[in-house]
Amino acid sequence: MHKPETRKNYCMFFANRDNYIKRGNKASILIGALEIEHLTVQ
């Protein structure tokens, strides 16, 4: 697995069928040992 690089943009898509998460909400993701908190949903 590659380490994230600084000064690069990454994006992730996921299902949100019930529209539980709305644009502008804050979210955290966990991918293996990588945890990123307080992301703003776009």
Q: What is the pLDDT of residues 1-42, one digit of tens each?
A: 677 789 998 888 888 999 999 999 999 999 888 899 999 998
Q: How far apart are CA 7 and CA 33, in angstroms?
A: 20
Instruction: Write the DSSP symbol of residue 32.
Output: T
What is the model's pLDDT at position 27? 93
Q: What is the pTM of this model?
A: 0.57
Domain edges within the chain: 1-42
CB of 12 closer than 8 Å to CB of 6: no
User: Exposed e or buried b for every residue in 13-38, given b needs 16+ CB within 10 A?
Assistant: eeeeeeeeeeeeeeeeeeeeeeeeee
Phi (first) and psi of residue 36, to 5 degrees: -125, 125
What is the model's pLDDT at position 10? 83
